[in-house]
């Protein structure tokens, strides 16, 4: 018997269970978003080996060379770790899992104007959470829509098996993998306001298009595992409980970073 929900309604829980995703409005207050913005604005002018390595001295460089994604900022910045463990997010995750969540990864995407998107893919292909599944919490730091390259989801693919990806179109995707959605499923945009959080199951097929606007589409993205999981890909260890203490699951030998870039080889 499921315990009383922390934040979600039964209707929201049913939406996640049937569609594979759920947008929860306003989980971050304005002052919290401002702190996240300031933190990653500061980081954007630096180099953090292994986490953020921009090209800072070439104004003609491709947008994602100047503003690559920040990988695992919680490992070097306290603010990123604080918001990876943001209580409202952890409460929603506990509702979705029916048990506490463990934080496995943080990322920050700047996605400046002109940036390529990320081809359709499935997150648990990389995290390899067993038993159970990963859930992503995708926080819109800027309003996100079709014009500025917001997230795309394929509803009702959360029970679709993990599939071996094809090669993506490097003209449109900065990562190499592409998962073709089933013929009877449609790709739809997840329209989000600033401060909204999109939660989605690790098997859900999702991605994004190019940013065709003159606006950034910044997003703070974290991945989580259920507390009863025993294995995860080595790239995501150690994990963290809500109180900030570390926990190490056994290594699942498969998986790796969430999306391999065409011109970057991250260690697995």
pLDDT tens for the chain, 268 residues: list them.
Answer: 456 788 999 999 999 999 999 999 999 999 999 999 999 999 999 999 999 999 998 877 899 999 999 999 999 999 999 999 999 999 999 999 999 999 999 999 999 999 999 999 999 999 999 999 999 999 999 999 999 999 999 999 999 999 989 999 888 899 889 999 999 999 999 999 999 999 999 999 999 999 999 999 999 999 999 999 999 999 999 999 999 999 999 999 877 555 555 454 332 2
Enumerate the H helices of 108-181 as residue ranges.
124-127
Q: Name the domain count of the chain.
A: 1
Query: Which 8-state DSSP code applies to residue 219?
Result: E
| Whole-number pLDDT of residue 1 | 45
Does residue 131 form part of some domain?
A: yes
Q: How far apart are CA 207 and CA 199, in angstroms?
A: 14
Does residue 268 form part of some domain?
A: no
| Whole-number pLDDT of residue 61 | 84
| Full domain range(s) for residue 53 | 10-252
Does residue 5 form part of some domain?
A: no
| Whole-number pLDDT of residue 89 | 98
| Whole-number pLDDT of residue 97 | 98
How far CA 31 is from CA of 26, 38, 84, 99, in Å, comes to 12, 11, 16, 29
Q: What is the pTM of this model?
A: 0.93
Does residue 23 form part of some domain?
A: yes
Does residue 175 form part of some domain?
A: yes
What is the torsion angle, in degrees rounded to the nearest 10, for the CA atoms of residue 23, residue 29, residue 35 and residue 39? 0
- Of 103, 112, 106, nearest to 44 by C-alpha is 112
Does residue 34 form part of some domain?
A: yes
- Of 239, 215, 210, nearest to 84 by C-alpha is 239
CATH number at residue 243: 2.60.120.620
Does residue 261 form part of some domain?
A: no
Q: Helix %, strand %, coil % for the chain, to 5? A: 20, 25, 55
Tell me which residue has tokens 């604080």: 82
Does residue 87 form part of some domain?
A: yes
Cα dihedral sign for 21, 26, 32, 34? Answer: positive
């Amino acid at each position: 018997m499921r315990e009383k929900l922390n934040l979600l309604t039964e209707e929201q829980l049913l939406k996640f269970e049937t569609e594979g995703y759920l947008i929860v409005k306003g989980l971050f207050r304005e002052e919290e978003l401002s702190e996240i913005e300031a933190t990653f604005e500061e980081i954007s002018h630096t180099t953090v080996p292994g986490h953020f390595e921009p090209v800072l001295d070439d104004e003609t460089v491709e947008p994602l060379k100047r503003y690559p994604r920040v990988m695992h900022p919680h490992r070097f910045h306290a603010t990123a770790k604080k918001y990876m463990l943001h209580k409202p997010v952890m409460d929603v995750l506990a509702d979705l899992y029916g048990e506490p969540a463990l934080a496995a990864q943080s990322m920050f995407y700047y996605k400046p104007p002109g940036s390529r998107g990320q081809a359709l893919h499935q997150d648990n292909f990389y995290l390899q959470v067993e038993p159970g599944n990963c859930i992503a919490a995708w926080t819109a730091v800027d309003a996100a829509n079709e014009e500025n390259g917001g997230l795309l989801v394929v509803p009702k693919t959360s029970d679709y098996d993990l599939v071996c990806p094809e090669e993506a179109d490097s003209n449109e995707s900065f990562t190499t993998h592409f998962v073709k959605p089933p013929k009877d499923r449609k790709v739809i945009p997840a329209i989000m306001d600033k401060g909204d959080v999109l939660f989605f199951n690790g098997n859900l097929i999702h991605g994004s298009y190019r940013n065709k606007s003159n606006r950034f589409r910044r997003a703070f993205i974290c991945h989580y595992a259920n507390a009863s999981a025993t294995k995860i890909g080595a790239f995501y260890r150690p994990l963290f409980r809500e109180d900030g203490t570390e926990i190490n699951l056994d290594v699942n030998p498969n998986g790796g970073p969430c999306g391999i870039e065409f011109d970057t080889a991250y260690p697995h």
